[in-house]
């Protein structure tokens, strides 16, 4: 199979990067994401993992992918896929408004971009939170990391994180 690429963008800021799908390491996850593209929604900056931005989505795969190519220590440029039950993110400590995707149903999908090092996927409520590494940024990570830092400092309100075929 030829390499497949996607564009990851912070739409309001007009910043994007290019990522290669890791079909050889996470084929089921890559297929699920690729078939559902374009995907996107409100962006959040992680509270626990450190250098991560993500969007929450309703499930889009016919069957949730298994934990393939897992990590608890994502590196800069990793794209990760997480699945949470609807109740896992519904506590007020996470800060999601009532009616948000985090409260939307029995399952919530989290598509994330890690933009800097020293990440550890541990949550005080749940413990270790392994993610599926399904993509790797190959171009534009420096610009995206700067925009992610701005998102952290200036705020995420009105910003969207989008994934599209390149």
Q: Which long-range contacts (C-beta less than 8 Å, at least 24 apart) are formed by 81-86?
A: 81/26, 81/29, 81/33, 81/109, 81/110, 81/111, 81/112, 81/131, 81/132, 81/134, 82/109, 82/110, 82/112, 82/129, 82/131, 82/132, 83/59, 83/107, 83/108, 83/109, 83/110, 84/108, 84/110
Task: Give the residue-averaged pLDDT of 24-38.
Answer: 98
pLDDT tops 70 at residue 19: yes
Q: What is the pTM of this model?
A: 0.93
**How high is the pLDDT of residue 14?**
97
- pLDDT confidence tier of residue 13, bands split at 50, 70 and 90: very high
């Amino acid at each position: 199979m030829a390499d497949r690429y996607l564009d990851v963008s912070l739409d309001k800021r007009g910043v994007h990067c290019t990522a290669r799908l890791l079909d050889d390491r996470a084929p089921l996850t890559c297929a699920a994401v690729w078939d559902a593209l374009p995907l996107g929604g409100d962006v959040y900056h992680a509270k626990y993992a450190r250098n991560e931005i993500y969007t929450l989505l309703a499930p889009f795969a016919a069957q949730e992918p298994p934990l393939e190519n897992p990590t608890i220590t994502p590196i800069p440029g990793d794209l990760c896929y997480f699945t949470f039950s609807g109740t896992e993110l519904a506590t007020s400590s996470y800060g999601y408004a009532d009616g948000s995707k985090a409260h939307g149903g029995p399952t919530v999908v989290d598509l994330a971009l890690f933009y800097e090092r020293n990440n550890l996927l541990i949550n005080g409520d749940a413990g270790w939170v392994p993610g599926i590494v399904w993509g790797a940024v190959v171009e534009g990570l420096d610009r995206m990391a700067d925009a992610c830092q701005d998102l952290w400092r200036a705020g995420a309100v009105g910003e969207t994180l989008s994934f599209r075929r390149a």
